[in-house]
Amino acid sequence: MALTKLWTIAYRDLMRNRRRTLFTMLAVALGLALLVLLNGWIAGILEGSLQISIRYQTGHIQLRAPSYESDQLSLLWKDLVDEPEALAAAADSDSVMAASPVLWASVILSTNEDTAGLRLYGVEPESKLYDPFRAALTTGEFLTADDRDGVVIGQKLANELGIDVGQKINLAIVNADGQPDEALFTVRGLFSTGIFAYDEGAVFMPLAKARAFGGTGDRASAVVILLNDQEATDAVAAGLANRGADVLTWRDLNELLLMTVQTGMSFYYILDFIVILIVAVIIANTLLMAVFERVREMGILAALGMKARQIRLMFLLEASILGLVGILAGLVLGSLGVAYLANVGVNIGDIGAAAGGVTMGSVVYGRFVPSTFLGLSVATFIIILLASLYPAWYASKLEPVQALHAL
């Protein structure tokens, strides 16, 4: 019997019970749509977190002293980069958007009523590295290189501590000599990036003033390099080797985040399999019901000469129709959901602050990952076919005489 004829019979058999067929296709569509939506959202969160970390914190490449530990924020001269301006100049190329020294330190901000532990960023205000903070200003103005007592802090932190533009705040530090020091600074501006690590835990001041405040001389914690194209990272990093500083790429600097991504994706692969398996069970149940309803018909077909392999193939074709239509509908529904998440996003408020190891904003977005969506579709189809093997085998094993006498 021709394959086209088997397709026709399979289609007609499915249309006998349209309601059951429709609900089965709907189950496949909703299951796949859920997986597409979930995977698109997770991919968006993880990729967005990585890009936020690169753009706001790590850059694509950093040059550091071999002994520097980022979690300690050391101001000891042995842990700092010597002649960072020269290193930044050496990094200048067509592939580099910005290269600038930065000084990091731990400070305590004090007002008349409250205190807060913050991370100090000594920056070159004119560098393109800090364009996002300039764009995020809610009031006041950003720093200038010759500002001797100005700082910029997050709007959220200012609201919590009752600080406004123009107000004096006290910052205390343990300098490079291990001695405590403090000074008064004037708040020049407030910013709101939607990233909790900055809006609640950062204070910016000009690099020259930060060096004087921390007693670090002309040294810096690192030279941060931002590229025009992330793919050029390895080439630029290779050109900066052997200059007396460790060269760290965004992969090294975001190792914890990348490990979190890998671990998280392992969990979602398990979840994907569970959802697909549930859909496959529904398909198998539908086909088994069809077999039990059509026992006499199977007997007649077998008596007329239809071979067992043709009966098996007919049921596999029925499963294919259910799977393909459901998968197509699921891809459309899931893609619409991902499109919404990619353009509008989901406001998670302060939840992102609790995401340890992952830098998140207050709004997270979805992301289209065609290879993942295609993989989910193929996996769904394969598992549906595997689940349909038993009903197909059962139907092909019915003896014609017994089938014809079935009620």
pLDDT in tens, 9-54: 667 777 777 887 788 888 889 888 988 998 888 888 888 888 888 9
Amino acid residing at 333:
L
Q: What would the two tokens of residue 282 be?
A: 């529904």
Domain boundaries, the chain: 3-54+258-404, 66-244
Position 250 pLDDT exceeds 60: yes
Answer whether residue 405 shows pLDDT above 60: no
Q: Tokens 């708040």 correspond to what residue?
A: 187
d(CA 129, CA 370): 31
Q: 27-55: buried (b, 16+ CB within 10 Å) or exposed (e) per residue?
A: bbbbbbbbbbbbbbbbbbbbebbbebbbb
Q: Which residues of 233-268 are buried (b: 16+ CB within 10 A; e: fewer)?
A: beebbeebeebebbbbbbeebbeebbebbeeebeee
Mean pLDDT for the chain overall: 84
Token pair for 108: 């305590």
Residue type, 174: V
288: Cβ–Cβ under 8 A, 6 or more apart, which residues?
A: 390, 391, 394
Burial of 128 per CB tally in 10 Å (0-12, 13-18, 19+):
middle
pLDDT, average across residues 273-277: 82
Tell me if 42 sits within 8 A of 345, measured CB to CB.
no
pTM of the model: 0.74
What pLDDT digit, counting tens, does each position of 185-226 carry? 999 999 998 888 888 899 999 999 999 999 999 999 999 999
pLDDT tens for 382-403 read 888 888 787 777 766 655 555 4
| Location of structure tokens 């975001």 | 254
- Count Cα neighbours of 397 within 13 Å in the Cβ-side half-sphere: 6
Question: Tell me, what's the pLDDT at 407?
Answer: 45
